[in-house]
Amino acid sequence: MTRSWRNDLSVGLALLALAVALPFVWPVNYVVTQVTLFFVWAVVVTQWNLVYGVAGIFSLAQMALFAVGAYATAMLGYYLEWSLWLAMPVAGLVTVVVSMLIGLACLRLRGPYVALLTLAIAQVMYLYIVNDTACFTNPPSGCMPLFGGVRGVTRFGDLGFRELFKQDWRLAHYFLALGLLAAATVFSVVIIRGPLGLAFRALRDNPDFARSRGINRFRTQLWVFALSALFTGLAGAFYAANFRSIGPTVFSFSLLLFLISMMVVGGVGTIWGPLLGAALLMMTDEALREVQDWRDIGLGLMLALFVVLLPRGIVGTLRDLAHRRSAGRGPPAA
C-alpha cells in the first residue's frame, strides 16, 4: 500500500513539473490553448473513470454532467449576473445533485440498460435545449430561450484574467486548469486507494459477495455518482468560463466518442491510464487535423482496435505484464 502511494506521488509530481515547465519552454499561444483544453478533458475522464472503470457502472451521462456544470455557470452569470468565481463552485454542487438523481434512476439497472438510460437522459437534455424556442427574455441581441437554444449562452462575463494579465491571460487559464486537474487527480487517487474505492471495486467484481460482506449498494452507488460529478461539473464550469460561451455541441456524439476513447486507450479502471489516454488522443487528434475527413474514421478504428485487442488499455496491459513477470502467474484482481 505505501509503495503504491509513493509511486503515485512520484508519477504525479513528475507530470506536474512537466506541465508547469511546458508553457515556458514552448511559449506558443496555440499550444497553451490546446493543452488547457487537454486539462479539461483529462479532468472529465479521470472522474468518468471512477464511475465506469472503478465502480463498473457504464454511464454515458458524463458529458451531460459536464454540460450541467457549464450551463449552470453560464446561466448564473447571465441571468443573475453573478461573478463566475462564485458561479463555478455553485455549478459544481448543482452537478453533484443532478448526478445523484441520475444515480438513483440507474439503481435497479445493470450493464447495457444503464448505458441506454444515461444516453436517453443526455438526449432528452439535448433535445429540450435545441427545440426550446420560446423566448425567456428579450435582450437587444434577440430572443433568448431559457437555455439559449441552438446558439447557446454567451455574454456572461469571464474570470477577469483578460483584464488582469492582459496578453498573458492564456497562461492564467492554463494554470487554473492545471490546478483543477491536479486537484481532480489527487481526489480520484485518494478515492481509488481508500476504503470507498475498495467498496466500488468489490461491487464491480462480485456484487453478491460484496453485499454479503455488508457493503450497501444503494449508498455506495450514490457516493460514486456524487463524487465523480463534482470535478466534472467544475471542469464544465471552467470550460464555459474559458471560452466565454457554451452551446449544445457539448452533447455531440463525436465528443462522447473522443472521451470514451481516451479512457479505453489509456486503461479503464487504472489511475494514470485516463490521463495518458487523454494526452495520446489529443495528440492523435492534432496529427489528424491536416486530414480532417479521416479524423472520425481514425478515431473509430482506434477505439474498436483497442477494445477488441487490448481491452485493458495501455496502462492496464503494462501493469498486467509487470505483475506476471514478478509473480509468475495471472493478472491481478484490481
Partner 1 sequence: MNADVVIQIVASGLTLGAMYAVSTIGLSLVWGSLGMLNMAHGAMLTMGGYAAYFVMARLGLPHVAGLLGAMVVGAMVGLLVYHTVVRTMLGSRSFDTNVIIATVGIASVLENVVLKLFDAQPLPQPLVIGGSLQVGRVHIPNQNLLILGVALVLMVAIALVLQRSRAGRAIRATAMNREAAQLMGVPIGRVYAQVLMLAGALAAVSGIMVSSIATLSPTMGGDPMLKAFIICVVAGLGNVYGAVVSAIALGLLEATAQYVIGVRFGFALLLFLVIAILIWRPYGLFGRRQVVRL
Site residues for partner 1 per CB under 8 A: 56, 58, 105, 108-109, 111-113, 115-117, 120-121, 123-124, 127-128, 131, 253-254, 257, 260, 264, 293-294, 296-297, 299-305, 307-309, 311
| Nearest residue (CB) to partner 1, 205 versus 286 | 205
Q: Name residue, grid cell 474498436.
A: 304
Least CB distance to partner 1 at residue 61 (A): 11
Least CB distance to partner 1 at residue 47 (A): 18
| Nearest residue (CB) to partner 1, 257 versus 321 | 257
The b/e string for 175-209 (b: 16+ C-beta within 10 A; e otherwise) is: bbbbebbbebbebbbebbeeebbbbbbbbbeeeee
Least CB distance to partner 1 at residue 260 (A): 6
The answer to whether residues 184 and 233 touch, using CB atoms and an 8 Å cutoff, is no
| Nearest residue (CB) to partner 1, 222 versus 302 | 302
| Nearest residue (CB) to partner 1, 10 versus 254 | 254
| Nearest residue (CB) to partner 1, 39 versus 52 | 52
Least CB distance to partner 1 at residue 111 (A): 5
Say how many C-beta atoms besides its own lie within 10 A of residue 95's C-beta: 31
Say how many C-beta atoms besides its own lie within 10 A of residue 222's C-beta: 17
Least CB distance to partner 1 at residue 222 (A): 15
What is the distance, to the nearest Å, from the Cα of residue 292 to the centroid of all Cα atoms in its chain? 24
Grid cell digits, residue 117: 438510460
Grid cell digits, residue 222: 450514490
Q: What region does 267 belong to: left with phi over 0, alpha with psi -120 to 50, or beta?
A: left
Least CB distance to partner 1 at residue 197 (A): 18
The answer to whether residues 267 and 312 touch, using CB atoms and an 8 Å cutoff, is yes
- CA dist 209 and 331 (Å) reads 21
| Nearest residue (CB) to partner 1, 121 versus 210 | 121
